[in-house]
Chains A and B, each alone.
Chain A
Amino acid sequence: MSSAQRAEGQLVKQKPVAQKEVATISNGDIDLPVSSADLKSSRAEKLNRSAAAQIINGFALLGICVLAFCIRLFSVVKYESVIHEFDPYFNYRVTGFLTREGFYNLWNWFDEHTWYPLGRVIGGTIYPGLMWTAGVLYNVLHLLNIPIHVQEVCVFLAPLFSAFCALSAYLFVKEIRGQGAGLMAAAFTAVVPSYISRSVAGSFDNEGVAIFALIFVFYLYVKTLNTGSLAWATASAMAYLYMVMSWGGYSFIINLLPIHCLACVFTGRLSHRLYVAYAPLIVMGTIGAAMIPVVGFNAVLMSEHFGAFFAFGVLHGALFIRYVKSVLPAKAYQAAKTLVLTGGVAIIGVLLALITGYVMASPTFGWTGRSLSLLDPTYASKYIPIIASVSEHQPPAWPSYFTDIHVLVLLVPAGLAACFRPLSDASLFLILYGVTAVYFSGVMVRLMLVLAPAACCLGGVAAHEFLLALTRAIRAPNLAPSPVTDASVSLLDTAAAPSPAPKSKGKGKSSAAKAEKAKGKGVTAESMFDFLDTSGKGRIPRDVAWIGLVAATLGLIFYIGHCVWVSAEMYSAPSIVLQTRDPQGGVHVFDDFREAYGWLRFNTDPNCKVASWWDYGYQTTAMANRTVLVDNNTWNNTHIATVGRAMASPEKKAWQIYRDLDTEYVLVVFGGFIGYPSDDINKFLWMVRIGGGVFPDIKEKDYLAQGSYRVDDQAPPALLNCLMYKLSYYRFAEASTMVTGRYGFDRVRNTMIGKTDISLQYFEEVFTSEHWMVRIYRVLDRPNRETKLKNPRRAKPPRRSSSSSRPRSASGAPPK
């Protein structure tokens, strides 16, 4: 930099400092490829921005945060403040432990109440970010003498962090394209249904904080990229550490960053700021990731991270080449190049061979099972049936894209195009993020969640561009645009007309058709609608712009309406409490699960062991506070297969298996009485498959009748005699006559059951909930005396004379 420029930089430098102190929101450093003269004048323009605009900006963000928080409260209003689903119960239990026992005890926690008798080292196998966040929040609130229960903290943490996520999206896109785009993106992020589905009040799961951490890391990375300051690099490393702590999806970041780095290097955008943004983050991020026990040495040993190291090396190589080029005169540089090309290629070849050898030596090429199932969607169904059996791991259907991101489906391609004009390092990053997120969302429904913020950011950019065109056409139809002022005018516009901005968003499809007349012109990459300029005057007629604006507003109102409806109807069910409407319009609540867990909690010995399918493990340990055999962590396939085998075996064999595991109670979920479709009989084939995967005596075809799964009288004897069948349908035939009028009609499978006279010899029924959804059986002890053993020498049984059937109550003994 010449000294004149340096002096200028110093002069100008002081004002933004002052501005930083005034504005509570960021001052919006925008990376526009303009000359230094433009820099000075646009900065001066920026200073003229009205304070009112900033205030409106602030209130708009506040409104966005409040909206993000409130839209997630439907489940609290409709049901109650309760923790949803299965995994959040485990997180809640861990958070409870943290608040009671403290940080170090959680770090070292060995839990003997789950995976009996193997136990689980919880301290070393969880992603602790969510629990620490909740624990810190709890402690802070208690320090302020707000005696809030830890359950409330857990329930409302996700909505709070979704508000933070909206703020992060604002900051992120502001770095890329400006304040207006940032506001759009924040508004989209606040209500996008895909994100709502995993962060409603009550869904206390990793994604609730992890998505916030994801966008925040991206924001800090892009900020570092734009400013080139190591302080921001430190902040991004800290944020990355928080992300690693929170979610296993951090591997998305550690693979996206090298893709971006390589893209920058190979498209000629190599700069020193890229090095400052990328290299320290990788090194400090690796150390940080290695400190979290669940990641540990995988941070350097697993293939997921090799991309980052490869890009690290490539970046160093590229910078070194550039440095040598700058130092050496041209001729010497050419000579050096030929030298390196001949010698270096050999060395790189050797290195690659070593790494390839290391990677091929592992059966999964160094990738973990879950990552491999992302890269190869057929891997899980072949090798790991448990991963394949989870419904969240299936590929999404096409309509679910529309349900989950609605109008953004149309805005994302527009946003991708908008990011190219102008293409900066930051917008290149956003493009790559969007593209990779779209790919991964196509592999697993669960990863739609990673796509949602990307779609919101891209959609925000697109909407901003679109509205920019329309509002500028409305505001200043007579202005003769000049290159620089156009840019500053665009800034002024977005700052001065923010009232339509948060509420009105663009529906790209209909308005693109209307925007045939282009607006901006002359300036390179002014707007993506340049090419539509046919009139030569460079603007859209005012009335067309008004129509476009109205249509855009309508489109965005539809978006909000859709999001609110989806949030209220589809994603607010806690799944532990169910509701239906009765014919009079009232609400009927099915609270069977909590009833059963409460029964277990208060009516059984505290040290007893409960066996059930792994779905209910977390809820049983959290609510019933009893030891379970298997739970949702599914880390030990053999143990799950043992339980599956027990459920699929005849009664005596199952009794033996359960007694060997010291089980006292068996819990079964049954929906045939009330019509609840996710019960254990529907999951039974998975039990057979998982059990059969480890124990060869359980064969799936034994339980199918000509290839189809039935429970009526066509069912094979293996199914009719297995424990799951007996425990589900014990005493069901008589009870179903009261409900359906038919003797043994299963309302989920819609058939009459095959065996109605079921008697249990080795189990006894101890609890059935109100709607028969949860049934608990006790595993009987071995009998005190041996009777009726097989004895070939036994004479024929004695005739029971009539006298021996007299009532035996003369002693007054209480009945057995």
Chain B
Amino acid sequence: MRGRATLLACALWLTVTRVQAQKSDVLVILEDQQLKSTHSIFFGHLRQLGYQLDYRSADDKKLQLRDWDSWLYDKVICFAAAVPEFGGAADAQALLEFVDSGRDLLLATDSSASDELRELTAGVGVDLEPQGRAVIDHFSYALQSLTVDHTVVSGQAALAASAVLGGPIEAPVLFRGIGASVAPESELVLKVLTAGSTAISAVPGKPLTEAPTLAGNETTLTAAIQTRNNARVTVCGSIDLFSNEFFRWSPVVVTPGQRVGQSGNRAFATQLAEWTLQDRGRLRVSKVRHVLAGTSETPQRYRIRDQVDFSVDIHEWRKGSWQPFKADDVQLEFVMLHPYLRVNLAHNNKGTFSTRLSVPDVYGVFKFVLNYQRPGYSHLFVSEQAPVRPFKHDEYERFIPAAFPYYASTFSMMGGFFALTLLFLYHKRPLP
């Protein structure tokens, strides 16, 4: 009895750990193997979340992302800067293909970022500054090491980024590295961490001969990109942001004389990593159904003025499983060249969003379009074609009261005709 219970307990524990341990494989490309120890808190946190980390060196000749058609890893974390080219088969182009296949990338680099890394970040829409430049802020810097070059700056987490980060982070986030710029009309890039208004991007130590091209709030320190197939890429200009030293940095001196408590790096880095590795804000759509109201069949085409029940299941990945998504702003559009209807979907707390719509009085080829784009969440797009036909010839109203005189007159004509022929045929007296 006891033996069996122990066995059961062991099996249960094993399955639990197996389930927990069935996370994806993460390839960690490190320029310098020392980063394993200097960034141990960060990597430890990732292991706690259940990820299997595979540490490789950036110039490892056997670096491989895919084996013919199958990808060997699900996520890549890359802390590299000055590597002129990646070893093996994991160069910038391969990493971009990796992202295009729907997999996530967390990239951190440095002032000594090489052209390879610049090419990689340009491929996702983030333009790194030229090699050698750093983000310098002479008015607001951390004084701990009393570095003269003032390269350790504090970044401000953008308010809009609280969706990415799971909440606002008030503590300053320390940063030492290279800045980046993002195109103004970019739709997919979210600037998570920007420098203060007094920051510039320049070569430290060298006097400036002309105005800096990138300065102030335009300097992006960390950018979060969600591609159109919902792969997530984070580009951070500072490897040190993730280091143990910056995690423990306290107190932070924001400006000479102003002290703030613990740096916010730990919270920032872990939240950012969670978002990038699709542990937060990941949505999925399933079971899109549209049926005629009251029935359970999806007709090949609808008819004008029909009532249609539309329902869709949206789930969110939270704490290792798919939980029902709760939101009140999911909208459905009924579109033909432009939306004829736009309704909010109501959810039943179990992840099913539904509504009843009445098809407008216009026939054509419509689409049900669900286009849900919120910062920090996966982009949901559902488009289902729903042709709408006009009335059939026997679906119009019949026996209209206003037309009764016409029916009556036609009957009377027929009666007259009948009487006339009877008269002509059967009248006994031959009519002259």
Q: Is A800 interfacial (CB-CB < 8 Å)?
A: yes
Interchain CB contact under 8 A, B185 and A811:
no
Q: Is B203 interfacial (CB-CB < 8 Å)?
A: no
Interchain CB contact under 8 A, B336 and A804:
no
Interchain CB contact under 8 A, A119 and B365:
yes
Q: Chain B residues near A793 (CB, 8 Å)? A: 127, 181, 213-214, 218
Report B376-395 CB contacts with A as 1/0, cut-off 8 Å.
00000000010101101100
Q: Chain B residues near A123 (CB, 8 Å)? A: 393
Q: Which of B94, B96, B185, B390 contacts A790 (CB 8 A)?
A: B185
Q: Which of B68, B99, B393 contacts A813 (CB 8 A)?
A: B68
Report A90-108 CB contacts with B as 1/0, cut-off 8 Å.
0000000000000010011
Report A784-806 CB contacts with B as 1/0, cut-off 8 Å.
11111111111110111101100
A-B contact count (CB 8 A): 130
Compute how far the CA of A720 lies from the CA of B330 in the bound complex, rounded to whole angstroms: 45
What are 14 inter-chain pairs, A to B, with CB distance below 8 A? A112-B301, A112-B365, A121-B363, A785-B99, A786-B124, A786-B125, A786-B183, A787-B124, A796-B130, A799-B115, A804-B116, A808-B89, A811-B67, A813-B89
Interchain CB contact under 8 A, B183 and A790:
yes
Lowest 6 A-B CB distances belong to which pairs?
A: A811-B89, A789-B183, A110-B389, A791-B183, A112-B387, A793-B181
Q: Chain A residues near B5 (CB, 8 Å)? A: none
Interchain CB contact under 8 A, A782 and B127:
no
Q: Is A116 interfacial (CB-CB < 8 Å)?
A: yes
Interchain CB contact under 8 A, B85 and A803:
yes
Q: Chain B residues near A110 (CB, 8 Å)? A: 301, 363, 387, 389-390
Task: Tell whether A119 pairs with B363 under 8 Å between CB atoms, given A790-B185, A808-B93.
Answer: yes
Within 8 A of A (CB), among B178-223: 181-189, 213-214, 218
**B27-35, B225-233, B353-361: which one contacts chain A?**
B225-233
Q: Is A422 interfacial (CB-CB < 8 Å)?
A: no
Report B46-69 CB contacts with A as 1/0, cut-off 8 Å.
000000000000000000111111
Task: Tell whether A814 pairs with B68 under 8 Å between CB atoms, given A112-B365, A118-B365, A808-B91.
Answer: yes
Q: Chain A residues near B122 (CB, 8 Å)? A: 787-788
Interchain CB contact under 8 A, B227 and A121:
no
Q: Is A816 interfacial (CB-CB < 8 Å)?
A: yes
Least CB distance, A205 to chain B, in whole angstroms: 26
Least CB distance, B73 to chain A, in whole angstroms: 13
Interchain CB contact under 8 A, B227 and A804:
no
Q: Is A810 interfacial (CB-CB < 8 Å)?
A: yes
Q: Is B375 interfacial (CB-CB < 8 Å)?
A: no
Q: Chain A residues near B390 (CB, 8 Å)? A: 110, 121
Interchain CB contact under 8 A, B186 and A786:
yes
Interchain CB contact under 8 A, A810 and B89:
yes
Q: Which of B119, B336, B392 contacts A117 (CB 8 A)?
A: B336
Q: Is A326 interfacial (CB-CB < 8 Å)?
A: no
Q: Which of B94, B181, B227, B389 contacts A784 (CB 8 A)?
A: B227
Q: Is B320 interfacial (CB-CB < 8 Å)?
A: no
Q: Chain B residues near A799 (CB, 8 Å)? A: 115
Task: Tell whether A808 pairs with B365 under 8 Å between CB atoms, given A787-B125, A793-B214, A803-B85.
Answer: no
Interface centre among A107, A112, A787, A799, by most chain B C-beta atoms within 10 angstroms, is: A112
Task: Tell whether A804 pairs with B119 under 8 Å between CB atoms, given A108-B392, A784-B100, A793-B214.
Answer: yes
Interchain CB contact under 8 A, B301 and A117:
no
Q: Which of A782, A794, A804 contacts B228 (CB 8 A)?
A: A782
Compute how far the CA of A301 lies from the CA of B92 in the bound complex, rounded to whole angstroms: 72
Chain A contact residues: helix, strand, loop or mixed: loop
Q: Chain A residues near B339 (CB, 8 Å)? A: none
Q: Is B97 interfacial (CB-CB < 8 Å)?
A: yes
Q: Is A607 interfacial (CB-CB < 8 Å)?
A: yes
Least CB distance, A606 to chain B, in whole angstroms: 12
Report A651-673 CB contacts with B as 1/0, cut-off 8 Å.
00000000011000000000000
Interchain CB contact under 8 A, B124 and A117:
no
Q: Chain B residues near A112 (CB, 8 Å)? A: 301, 365, 387
Q: Is A585 interfacial (CB-CB < 8 Å)?
A: no
Compute how far the CA of A110 lies from the CA of B389 in the bound complex, rounded to whole angstroms: 6
Task: Tell whether A794 pairs with B127 under 8 Å between CB atoms, given A110-B363, A801-B115.
Answer: yes
Q: Is A33 interfacial (CB-CB < 8 Å)?
A: no
Q: Which of A108, A116, A787, A798 contacts B123 (CB 8 A)?
A: A787
Task: Tell whether A789 pairs with B115 under 8 Å between CB atoms, given A795-B130, A813-B94.
Answer: no
Interchain CB contact under 8 A, A117 and B337:
yes
Within 8 A of A (CB), among B84-127: 84-85, 88-89, 91-94, 96-97, 99-100, 115-116, 118-119, 122-125, 127
Compute how far the CA of A810 lies from the CA of B89 in the bound complex, rounded to whole angstroms: 6
Compute how far the CA of A799 lies from the CA of B301 in the bound complex, rounded to whole angstroms: 57
Report B151-186 CB contacts with A as 1/0, cut-off 8 Å.
000000000000000000000000000000111111
Within 8 A of A (CB), among B374-428: 385, 387, 389-390, 392-393
Report B227-264 CB contacts with A as 1/0, cut-off 8 Å.
11101000000000000000000000000000000000
Least CB distance, B227 to chain A, in whole angstroms: 5
Q: Is A349 interfacial (CB-CB < 8 Å)?
A: no
Interchain CB contact under 8 A, A808 and B125:
no
Report B124-153 CB contacts with A as 1/0, cut-off 8 Å.
110101100000000000000000000000
Compute how far the CA of A791 lies from the CA of B128 in the bound complex, rounded to whole angstroms: 12
Taking CB as reference atom, which chain B residue is nearest A662? B367
Compute how far the CA of A121 lies from the CA of B388 in the bound complex, rounded to whole angstroms: 11
Q: Chain B residues near A784 (CB, 8 Å)? A: 99-100, 227-229, 231
Q: Chain A residues near B366 (CB, 8 Å)? A: 117
Q: Is A812 interfacial (CB-CB < 8 Å)?
A: yes
Compute how far the CA of A108 lies from the CA of B183 in the bound complex, rounded to whole angstroms: 53
Q: Chain B residues near A794 (CB, 8 Å)? A: 127, 181, 183
Compute how far the CA of A800 lies from the CA of B67 in the bound complex, rounded to whole angstroms: 28
Within 8 A of A (CB), among B344-374: 363-367
Interchain CB contact under 8 A, B127 and A811:
no
Interchain CB contact under 8 A, B389 and A810:
no
Compute how far the CA of A800 lies from the CA of B91 in the bound complex, rounded to whole angstroms: 14
Taking CB as reference atom, which chain A residue is nearest B122? A787
Interchain CB contact under 8 A, B84 and A803:
yes
Interface centre among A107, A117, A786, A788, by most chain B C-beta atoms within 10 angstroms, is: A786
Q: Which of B96, B129, B365 contacts A795 (CB 8 A)?
A: B129
Taking CB as reference atom, which chain B residue is nearest A121? B390
Compute how far the CA of A814 lies from the CA of B119 in the bound complex, rounded to whole angstroms: 22
Q: Chain A residues near B213 (CB, 8 Å)? A: 793, 795
Taking CB as reference atom, which chain B residue is nearest A607? B385
Taking CB as reference atom, which chain A residue is nearest B218? A793
Report A750-789 CB contacts with B as 1/0, cut-off 8 Å.
0000000000000000000000000000000011111111
Taking CB as reference atom, which chain B residue is nearest A109? B389
Interchain CB contact under 8 A, A791 and B182:
yes
Interchain CB contact under 8 A, A785 and B123:
yes
Least CB distance, B76 to chain A, in whole angstroms: 14
Interchain CB contact under 8 A, A804 and B85:
yes
Least CB distance, B301 to chain A, in whole angstroms: 7
Compute how far the CA of A792 lies from the CA of B218 in the bound complex, rounded to whole angstroms: 12
Interchain CB contact under 8 A, B94 and A789:
no
Report A602-619 CB contacts with B as 1/0, cut-off 8 Å.
000001000000000000
Taking CB as reference atom, which chain B residue is nearest A800? B115
Least CB distance, A19 to chain B, in whole angstroms: 29
Taking CB as reference atom, which chain B residue is nearest A105? B392
Compute how far the CA of A156 lies from the CA of B405 in the bound complex, rounded to whole angstroms: 49
Within 8 A of B (CB), among A117-133: 117-119, 121, 123
Q: Chain A residues near B123 (CB, 8 Å)? A: 785, 787
Interchain CB contact under 8 A, A117 and B364:
yes
Q: Chain B residues near A104 (CB, 8 Å)? A: 393
Taking CB as reference atom, which chain A residue is nearest B386? A112
Least CB distance, B359 to chain A, in whole angstroms: 13
